[in-house]
Amino acid sequence: MPKFSRKQLYGIVVAIVVVVSSLAAYAFFNQPEDGFKAAIVDQLSPTYENQTFTKTTNETLTAAGYKVTYYKGEKVTVDFFRTLPTHGYKIILLRVHSALRQNNGELIEPLDFFTSEPYSDEYPYEQSNGWLDIAMYQPGGEEYFGILHGFVGHAMQGDFGGAVIVLMGCNGLDRYGRSLAMVQTLVGKGAKVCIGWDETVGAPHTDIATARLLHYLLIANKTIKDAVNATMTEPEIGTNPKLKYYPKTAEIDNYIIPHGPKSAAAVGGEHTPLNAVSIFALPLLHLQGNSMSFGRFRRRNSL
């Protein structure tokens, strides 16, 4: 065994300390986040802002130990959707217009999600592959990019990592199966379950129903099946449109969303404090066939 001088031993100890400290610092700054994060994606906010909904859902998520990030409408672009799975959100509320394609007044597949990004000749590769669409709130209105299931499957980065995704817009789980490609692709991209409406829905209706759904899921600790059923049995919600979920398996029927550490819950991102008004006190408004409906028209990109 070689002999070292005191100076050499000192140097070796210092070197070991530096290496160990560096490794510890690297581990600290690169440790994975706790995973209890949620996102409220409010693409609808420029046209129909609902601060009561935002405050109520934020409070429910925070009470369940989730760190909440709120995204205003202007943030919801093509590239926002592209990177959405990379943030590690375990609950995602897509308060986003969605629509089926129209052909001579008939709704046909596939489903798309509206962005707030005006349509242009950007993203030629995605457009040439038919992964993006032209979306309009009204025929002849302003054109925006729409996200199709091809974009989810091929252009989105990362994996949803078992996230629960609530599709608050129209036809997220269309009763005739016309949105099946979208929800199948979301699940294929790592979503645990998608919850959505089986036909068109008004904004006030979906806001109230989603707030109550979250209450049943996170405060009452009900299973996916029981929370959806409980939401649909409330008189204000009614029976049409109907909330559904995919995939419909025994595992998902009985799935209970885990809670995070209460002390870690905090609001991040674009959230702004809101007035304390309970959404449960709001009257239910049934708005059909007007601009408050979630995405009643789009036309398919010709590229």
CA distance 125 to 122: 9
- Give the helix/strand (H/E) hosting 183: helix 180-188
**Residue at token pair 């140097």:** 11
* Strand-by-strand arrangement of the 37-41 sheet: 243-246, 193-197, 164-167, 91-94, 37-41, 67-71, 267-269
pLDDT on residue 272: 36
Q: Which residues pair with 107 in a beta bridge?
A: 102
| Strand pairing category for 37-41 and 67-71 | parallel
Confidence of residue 101 (pLDDT cuts 50, 70, 90): confident
Query: How many CB atoms lie under 10 A from the CB of residue 84?
Result: 24
May I ask the CATH architecture of the domain 34-299?
3-Layer(aba) Sandwich (3.40)
CA atoms within 13 A of residue 127's CA, in its CB half-sphere:
15
- Whole-number pLDDT of residue 35: 76
Q: Is the dihedral of CA 220, 206, 96, 44 positive or negative?
A: negative
**What is the tens place of the pLDDT at every residue in 46-75?**
999 999 999 999 999 999 999 999 999 999
pTM of the model: 0.79
Name the DSSP class of 85.
Answer: G
pLDDT at residue 261 is higher than 90: no
Where are the domains positioned within the chain?
Answer: 34-299
Q: Which residues of 32-59 are buried (b: 16+ CB within 10 A; e: fewer)?
A: eeeebbbbbbbbbbeebebebbbbbbbb
Of residues 15 and 113, more confidence is placed in 113
Mean pLDDT of the chain: 82
**Is the peptide bond preceding residue 110 cis, with omega within 30 degrees of 0?**
yes
Q: Could you tell me how many residues make up the chain?
A: 303
DSSP codes of every residue in 104-168: TTEEEEEEEEEEEEEP-S--HHHHHTT-EEEE-SSTTS--EEEE-HHHHHHT--S---S-EEEE-
Q: Does residue 282 carry a pLDDT above 50?
A: no
Distance, C-alpha 23 to centroid of its chain: 35
**CA–CA dist 92, 100 (Å, integer):** 21
